[in-house]
Amino acid sequence: MVTRVATVAFQGIEAVPVDVQVQIAPGVPKFLMVGLPDKAVKESSERVYAAMIASGLGLPPKRITVNLAPADLPKEGSHYDLPIAPGLMAAIGAIPRDALDGFLVLGELGLDGRLAPVSGVLPAAIAAQSRNLGIICPASSGPEAARAGEGIDIIAAESLLALVNHLTGHQLAARLQPRKYLPNGALPDLSEVRGQQVARRALEVAAAGGHNMLMIGPPGAGKSMLAARLPSILPPLNPRELLDISMIQSIAGELAGGAISDRRPFRAASLRLHGGSGRRRVAGKAGGSESGA
Ligand SMILES: Nc1ncnc2c1ncn2[C@@H]1O[C@H](COP(=O)(O)OP(=O)(O)O)[C@@H](O)[C@H]1O
Ligand SMILES: [Mg+2]
């Protein structure tokens, strides 16, 4: 008997449906994983095995085969741990066989059975919604999944054990509310630029018309400074743009806690924005801005 669990593979920001098929059959004890898994996916057998034991769910000494279908699509990332584990649990009867019907599952497992956040939860949740499925994900990825919309059914569990308790009806996980947008306060503002009337005018024209901009000048003339302040005069993102950008940030693992900003993104080669923690590159077309370094 084969149990099936729905999950996704990512191609760019697109979430492609993947079917995790788990079979436990008599034979020499072995954990086989097929369906073009990369190294991180192959190693998931070790995490799943340890996490199940830590959760008090021993696996029978039998031959376990996990197939990730379609078999010709390469599978990358650590988010296949979670769909494999409940597939096994259903196969050994720890949870009802139909408990995972109607859910798309993704998440990474720690050896102690805790669920670790994964990237790409937002595109996965949107894919789940379009297929009329709910989503099962790690608790810390829950707010990000909630971004996909009001109607989506989300089970965001802290650990494998909490998920089992939820699926068997012993202890239900709490419902989730989408997190508010990040405040935009600390970002650079055009008012900090002194003088530069012509450059400022050019920036305003570019912002108003959605034009590209090329700045040429000696080092220290203020090109990077001006470019970093373009988002402060661009209109807020519309809902469609917000979703597109959030999907990219989700895949890149930059949606901390599912909180997103309606400010236009800005990336620069090696510029530290005040208050910012990372290095950002010059904005692409989505922000409507371009600049020389
Ligand atoms: N018009 C200006 N008003 C205020 N500060 C400026 C101005 N032009 C340059 N600066 C200061 O000089 C620094 C260097 O400018 P920067 O934008 O990095 O130059 P560039 O990118 O053209 O080499 C800025 O971070 C800023 O502190
Ligand atoms: Mg510069």
Q: What is the CATH number of the domain that holds 50?
A: 3.30.230.10
Separation of alpha carbons 283 and 194, rounded Å:
23
DSSP reduced 3-state for 222: coil
User: Which of 167, 182, 205 is at the close of a domain?
Assistant: 167
Decide: pTM greater than 0.85: no
Task: Express each pLDDT in 239-284 by its tens digit.
Answer: 788 888 888 888 888 776 666 777 788 888 764 555 444 444 444 4
174 lies in some domain = no
Structural domains of the chain, count: 2
Average pLDDT of span 102-125: 93
Same structural domain for residues 10 and 54? yes
Same structural domain for residues 83 and 131? yes
Q: What percent of the chain has pLDDT over 90?
A: 48
What is the reported pLDDT for 249? 84
Largest distance between two CA atoms of the chain = 79
222 lies in some domain = yes
Same structural domain for residues 124 and 266? no
Looking at all shown ligands, the one closest to residue 222's CA atom is 1
Identify which of 257, 244, 268 has the alpha carbon closest to the alpha carbon of residue 126.
Answer: 244
Same structural domain for residues 196 and 153? no
Same structural domain for residues 71 and 153? yes
What is the reported pLDDT for 59? 87
Residue 193 CA: which ligand 1 atom is closest? 3
Task: Express each pLDDT in 29-75 by its tens digit.
Answer: 999 999 999 988 889 999 999 999 999 988 889 999 999 999 999 99
Same structural domain for residues 51 and 131? yes
Same structural domain for residues 273 and 233? yes
Stated length of the chain:
293
64 lies in some domain = yes
Looking at all shown ligands, the one closest to residue 282's CA atom is 2
Same structural domain for residues 85 and 217? no
Integer angstrom CA distances of residue 164 from 73, 80, 90, 157, 249: 30, 17, 10, 9, 30
293 lies in some domain = no
Q: Which pLDDT band holds residue 152 (cuts at 50, 70, 90)?
A: confident
Same structural domain for residues 196 and 152? no
What is the reported pLDDT for 151? 80
Separation of alpha carbons 215 and 222, rounded Å:
10
Q: Does the pLDDT of residue 13 top 80, yes or no?
A: yes
Strand segments, DSSP code E, in the chain are 2-11, 14-25, 30-34, 63-69, 103-105, 108-109, 115-116, 134-138, 154-157
183 lies in some domain = no
Q: For the chain, percent helix, then strand, then coil, each to nearest 5?
A: 35, 20, 45
246 lies in some domain = yes
Residue 226 CA: which ligand 1 atom is closest? 17
Same structural domain for residues 209 and 129? no
What is the span of the domain harbouring residue 62?
Answer: 2-167
Same structural domain for residues 150 and 234? no
Residue 292 CA: which ligand 1 atom is closest? 21
176 lies in some domain = no
177 lies in some domain = no
114: which residues sit within 8 A by CB, 6+ positions away? 158, 159, 160
201: which residues sit within 8 A by CB, 6+ positions away? none
- Give the residue, out of 214, 225, 266, with the most ligand 1 atoms within 8 A of its beta carbon, to mutate for a pocket test: 225
The region of weakest confidence among 2-16, 40-54, 180-194 is 180-194
Same structural domain for residues 145 and 13? yes
